[in-house]
Amino acid sequence: MSGARAALALRSVSKTFGAQLALDSVDLTVRMGEIHALVGQNGSGKSTVVKLLGGYHVPDEGCEAFVGDRPFQLGSMTAAHAAGLRFVHQDLGLVEHMTVAENFFMSPRAGWVRPLSAGAERSRTARALADFGYEIDPGAQVSSLSAAQRTVVAIVRALHGERPPALLILDEPTASLPGPDAELLFAALRRLVRGSGSVLFISHHLDEVMGLADSVTVLRDGRLAATTSSKELSHDRLVELMLGRPLAPRAPVAGPSRTEDAGDGPVPRLTVDRVHGVNLHGLSLEARCGEVVGVAGLTGSGRENLAGAVGGQTDVSGQVAIDGHPLKPGDPRDALARGLAYAPAERRRDALLGAATLRENLTIADLRSVSRRRRLSRRLERKEARTWIETLDVRPRDEERAILQFSGGNQQKVVLGRLLRTKPKVLVLDEPTQGVDIGARAAIHDLIEEAAAGGATVIVCSSDLEDLIQVSTRVVVVRRGVVGAELTGAALTVEHLEEELLRPTVVESTTADSAGLYRESSNA
């Protein structure tokens, strides 16, 4: 492979954001006919490379870029498309209110649908999907598809065009794909490179990298740490290159997580028992009153799906119980009635009433306390809102101001305040400090700690490891849909969490269960 011509060559690429150097003289070469993996921890510079290639960012002066033998204007969306670069980003870039076929034939340059007959669109789309082993209705609206199906559509759309892509760039493509669909994707990528295509593959799943990629480039803190053949790497050596230090001995593998032995003390406040769902493959954990249990995991590990599964937002198999009483799967009303309050990661889309005021967003979860004779009392509602605005330190203190006119940190305080008004037994928070400033982050930490001190059980699912360490009694690490490790006390450090996130999880069986998911073991 080393003698093959370069499909993409980047030389001395740097990118500065204000005083922060995100990339520092990075070189990257992807050969024709190879799958080249780009790996690194969060913040290593991987996403910046992708955004430079796609024209979202413009590089600093002094770099060179070539696609094939031709110079390439790095930082130009038009140049990227003309050169044959095709992308599947983490957000997929699909238009949800359009059909699968319409998304396939949308012009990437003009932003409109090519004038083809509906029948021709659907026929060509169905054929493209079938060529890669997928059966998805071309006439279905994208909004009706599962997360895995949307990922499939975005990937096949990128591969299906007037000519094969010069380079296919995949950013965490398997994050929402169950095992069988991921294998179909890998087979399609291998076919692509056998035909002299090239792939830049970005993934946190190092087992995928080791099994799929021909070559690997490792970024660390915005710099090139290594580029080597995957055959020359072991899993531990790859982790060492990413972290800049050898891999320490592993933390204990957790079964159902406990703070005390079974039989000692009361029934756990929250029990999650062998839950299966999207990216969850038999996950179990327990949490007791006054605990703050952090949940860490890489993209696609199941960490980002756990909060919704526990909160009744998604239909799952297995059991979630509060004080020993099972909750109805996929029924958020039952979860709320049992004392569980849930804050989603996408607050603007899923948690806030965008057209409503601060007052209305604060009180909507429990109107009984601000009602008299079954009628809402505006006087009581305003009084309640003002009390919580003071408690939450929302600025400006205007209960009639539209909620979307507040900062992200103040919006998140309002979401948490709304939940705390219900006096929950269990508080489940998904990315509670995402996109907030340092002051709001500290205030949210205080609210979490106060809830736990008041006897609530708090589950915090977050990609921010420092956040988890600051607020959690203990942190469980989710790998491949199961709890793979649990850290507490002196072991609860960013370094140990980073190492546990990158450890492999052994697949127990490659036979899909009734939900079409792999069953996996945490005994890595």
pLDDT tens for the chain, 524 residues long, are 556 789 999 999 999 988 889 999 999 999 999 999 999 887 788 888 999 999 999 999 999 999 998 999 999 999 998 898 988 887 788 888 899 998 888 755 444 445 567 788 888 889 888 877 778 889 999 988 876 778 888 888 887 765 678 899 998 887 666 666 778 788 888 888 888 889 999 987 788 899 999 999 999 989 999 999 999 999 889 988 988 888 766 555 444 444 444 344 567 999 999 999 988 999 999 999 999 999 999 877 889 899 999 999 888 999 999 999 999 988 989 999 999 999 998 888 889 998 999 999 999 988 888 898 889 999 999 999 999 999 998 988 899 999 998 888 899 999 999 999 999 999 999 999 887 777 788 889 999 999 999 999 999 999 888 899 999 999 999 998 999 999 999 999 988 998 898 887 654 443 333 223 233 333 43
On whether residue 363 sits in a domain, the answer given is: yes
Name the domain boundary from 214, 243, 272: 243
Tell me how far apart the alpha carbons of residues 111 and 138 are, in angstroms, rounded to a whole number.
Answer: 20
For residue 60, give both structure tokens: 């600093």
Scanning 83-218, the segments in alpha helix (DSSP H) are 100-104, 118-131, 147-159, 179-194, 206-212
Q: Which H or E run contains 282?
A: strand 280-287
Tell me how far apart the alpha carbons of residues 293 and 177 are, in angstroms, rounded to a whole number.
Answer: 27
Residue 282 shares a structural domain with residue 229 = no
Residue 400 shares a structural domain with residue 418 = yes
Q: What range does the domain containing 169 cover? A: 6-243
Residue 54 shares a structural domain with residue 86 = yes
On whether residue 346 sits in a domain, the answer given is: no
Tell me how far apart the alpha carbons of residues 116 and 137 are, in angstroms, rounded to a whole number.
Answer: 18
Residue 316 shares a structural domain with residue 457 = yes
Name the domain boundary from 243, 270, 303: 243
Tell me how far apart the alpha carbons of residues 269 and 199 are, in angstroms, rounded to a whole number.
Answer: 47
Residue 277 shares a structural domain with residue 290 = yes
Q: Which H or E run contains 501?
A: helix 494-502
Q: For residue 45, report the phi and psi dihedrals to the nearest 5 degrees.
A: 120, 0
Cross-strand bridge partners of residue 31: 6
Is it true that the peptide bond before 396 is cis, omega within 30 degrees of 0? Answer: yes
Residue 200 shares a structural domain with residue 282 = no
Residue 359 shares a structural domain with residue 441 = no
> What is the chain's Cα-based Rg?
24
**Order of strands, sheet of 70-71, starting from the edge strand that comes earlier in the sequence:** 20-31, 6-17, 64-67, 70-71
On whether residue 345 sits in a domain, the answer given is: no
Residues of 236-272 as b/e, b for ≥16 C-beta within 10 angstroms? eebbbbbbeeebeeebebbeebbbeeeeeeeebbbbb
Number of domains in the chain: 3
On whether residue 174 sits in a domain, the answer given is: yes
Assess contact for 52 and 46: CB atoms under 8 A: no
Residue 71 shares a structural domain with residue 169 = yes
What CATH number has the domain bearing residue 484?
3.40.50.300
Which amino acid, one-letter code, is at 412? Answer: Q
For residue 25, give both structure tokens: 């003289």
Scanning 213-298, the segments in alpha helix (DSSP H) are 235-243
Residue 93 shares a structural domain with residue 165 = yes
Which are the contacts of 179, defined by CB distance < 8 A and separation ≥ 6? 507, 510, 512, 517, 518
Tell me how far apart the alpha carbons of residues 194 and 65 are, in angstroms, rounded to a whole number.
Answer: 25
SS3 (DSSP) at 237: helix
> What's the whole-model pTM score?
0.69
CA dihedral 255, 258, 261, 263 (to 10 degrees): -100
Residue 326 shares a structural domain with residue 372 = no
For residue 68, give both structure tokens: 């094939």
Residue 222 shares a structural domain with residue 239 = yes
Name the domain boundary from 243, 266, 291: 243
On whether residue 37 sits in a domain, the answer given is: yes
